[in-house]
Amino acid sequence: MPDLPHKTVPMLVWADVDIGIADTVRRLNEILGVRTHSSCQGDDNEAGKVKPYVMVSWAWDDVLKSLLREFDVTLAGNYWGYVHPRSL
């Protein structure tokens, strides 16, 4: 993770999560080094299909390896991206 201008402390925050992606968010929150930032259960609409996702960041290279074993991951930058439930 990038160096931040201030010291931080990890803190549990309650958030409203779409029911269709809640199990994925719960699982990601169990993985050491992963931070979840936003999520959506996906949608079929006039503009097209939006895949379910959780935007995450991670602290170490090994965490990405763990994520890739369990989820589909779309990288968006260094140490962050979008995690999708594994396609069947």
- Domain-wise residue ranges, the chain: 22-84
Q: 27-74 pLDDT, tens per residue?
A: 999 999 999 999 999 987 777 788 999 999 999 999 999 999 999 999
Residue 29's CB is within 10 A of a number of other CB atoms, namely 13
Contact present, 54 and 81 (Cβ < 8 Å): no
The residue-averaged pLDDT of 14-28 equals 95
Phi and psi dihedrals of 6, rounded to 5?
A: -130, 155
Q: What pLDDT is attached to residue 88?
A: 53
Whole-model pTM? Answer: 0.83
Q: Name the pLDDT band for 7 (thresholds 50, 70, 90).
A: confident
